[in-house]
Amino acid sequence: MAPKTPISLSFLFLILPIFFFIQALSAPNYNYNYQKAYNELSYDFYDKLCPRLPMIIRYRVWAAVQNDSRIAASLLRLQFHDCIVDGCEASVLLDDTKDMKGEKNAPGNVKSLRGFEVIDDIKADVETYCPETVSCVDILGLAAREAVYLVGGPSWNLPLGRRDGLTASKKSVLEQLPSPKASLENNTAKFTSKGLDLKDLVVLSGAHTIGFARCVTFKVRLFNYKGSGQPDPDINAGMLSDLQSMCPNRNDGTNANLAPLDVVTVDRFDNEYYTNLISGVGLLESDHSLMADSYAAHMVRQYSYDTNLFYDDFAESMLRMSLVGVLSGRDGQIRKNCHVVNVDDGY
Ligand code: HEM
Ligand SMILES: *[C@@H]1O[C@H](CO)[C@@H](O)[C@H](O)[C@H]1NC(C)=O
Ligand SMILES: *[C@@H]1O[C@H](CO)[C@@H](O)[C@H](O)[C@H]1NC(C)=O
C-alpha cells in the first residue's frame, strides 16, 4: 500500500497545473461575469413595458444639454463612477442614510459628481408612464449614451434589464475609484479588477474630450511636481501659465475653479483629447501618464489620427463597462426613487 501514495500524489501534481491552465484558457476574462450579464439583458427589454422610454430620455437629456452643455459630460462621468465601483447598479445615486455611508459623499465624488437632477427628472416621467418598471441604472446608461451622442459623439449598443442595487459603500469608492494622482499602473489595476483592461482605460479616458476639472485635481502638476519644486516639465508653457493664474499656489476657494479637460473643444465629443496629449496640453496627471507607456501612447497616436477608430472602440468599451457587476433577473430591485432603496421590496 505504501508506494501508492507517492504515485497518486505525483499524478495530482501533474494533473492539477494542467487543469488550472485549461481553466484559465477557457474562462472568460471578466471577473464580473460579463457573458452571464450579457445573456440576461436584451435590447428590446422595455419595448413593450415602457414604449415611451426612448422619447423621455431623448427629450430630458436634450433639454438638460440646452440649458447647460457641461451636463453631457457630467452624465457620462456619473455612469463611469457607478460602474467602476461595485458594478453598474445605480449605487452612486443612493443617498447616505443613518446606517449607510454611500458613494456620493466619498472623496472623488463629493462636490464633484453632477447630473443627479437630470436622472430624477427622467425617473419622474418614467414613473408616470410606466411605474416601477425601468431601473435607475438603465436610465443612467441611456442618459449617458444620449448625452454623448448629442454633443457629437458616437452611440453604442446598450442591452437593458439591469436592476438596481440595494446598498452603496463609501469604502468601496476609496478602494476602487481610479485617482487623477495615481500611476497608470495603479489605475489600470482598478480597471482589470473589473474585467476591463488597459485598452478600455485608454479609450474611455477619451471621455475627457468633454467636461471640466477643478484645480485641486491637477494642481500637483503646476508648482511642485513630484517634490521637485518645479512644474511638470511636460506641460506646454502657454498652458502652464494659464493654469497657474487660474489655480494659484494656495489652498483656498480657487481650488474649485474649473479648467476644461479638452482645452481646444471642451463642448464637443471628438478625438481632440488624444491630439492634446501629444502636444502636451492634456490636463490631468492620469491623462498625461498615458504618454509614458508605449502601448497606451501607441493607442493615443492611433486615436488622434483616426476618429472612426476612436468612436468604434469607445462604443465597444462603453458596452463592456455597462456590463460590469450587473444585477439581472430576480436580483436587486426596480427602485421607485433613485435616491433610496425601496422599503417594501416585494420581489
Ligand atoms: C483613469 C481613470 C480616470 C481618472 C483618474 C479620472 C479623473 C477625473 C477627474 C479628476 C475629473 C475632474 C473631477 C473634478 O474636478 O471634480 C474627471 C472629470 C471627468 N471624467 Fe474622468 N477620470 C477617469 C476616467 C474617466 C472615464 C472612464 C470616463 C467616462 C467614460 C470619465 C469621464 C469624465 C468626464 C466626462 C469628466 C467631466 C465631468 C464634468 O465636467 O462634470 N473619466 N475625471
Ligand atoms: C440649468 O443649469 C444650471 C447649471 O447647471 C442648473 O443650476 C439649473 O438647475 C438648470 N436648470 C434646469 C431647468 O435644468
Ligand atoms: C500604487 O499603489 C501602491 C499600493 O497600493 C501604493 O503603495 C503606491 O503609493 C501607489 N502609487 C501611485 C503613484 O499611485
Q: What is the mean pLDDT of each run of 10 residues along the chain (347 residues)?
A: 56 67 51 69 97 98 98 98 98 97 98 98 98 98 98 97 98 98 97 96 98 97 95 95 97 97 96 97 97 98 98 97 95 97 71
- C-alpha 61/C-alpha 202 separation (Å) is 26
Is 288 designated active site? no
The annotated binding site is made up of 82, 85, 87, 91, 103, 178, 208-209, 262, 265, 270
In sign, the C-alpha dihedral spanning 129, 132, 138, 143 is positive
Domain definitions of the chain by residue range = 10-177, 198-314
Interior/surface letters 311-339, b for 16+ CB within 10 angstroms, e for the rest: bebbbbbbbbbbbbbbbbeeebbbbbebb
111 CA to centre of ligand 1 in angstroms: 13
Q: What would the pLDDT profile of 205-218 be if each residue is shown by its tens digit?
A: 999 999 999 999 99
The annotated binding site for heme b is made up of 208
Cell of 36: 452571464
pLDDT at residue 36, as a whole number: 75
pLDDT at residue 31, as a whole number: 45
198-314: CATH, from 1.10.420.10, 2.60.40.1120, 2.40.30.10, 1.20.1250.20? 1.10.420.10
SS3 of 186-232: HHHHHHHCCCCCHHHHHHHHHHHHCCEEEHHHCHHHCCCHHHCCCCC
pLDDT at residue 35, as a whole number: 74
For atom 1 of ligand 3, which residue has the closest CA? 186
Q: Is 68 in the pocket of ligand 2 (CB under 6 A)?
A: yes
pLDDT at residue 141, as a whole number: 98
pLDDT at residue 303, as a whole number: 98
- C-alpha 170/C-alpha 105 separation (Å) is 7
- What CATH number labels 10-177? 1.10.520.10
Q: What would the pLDDT profile of 187-211 be if each residue is shown by its tens digit?
A: 999 999 999 999 999 999 999 999 9
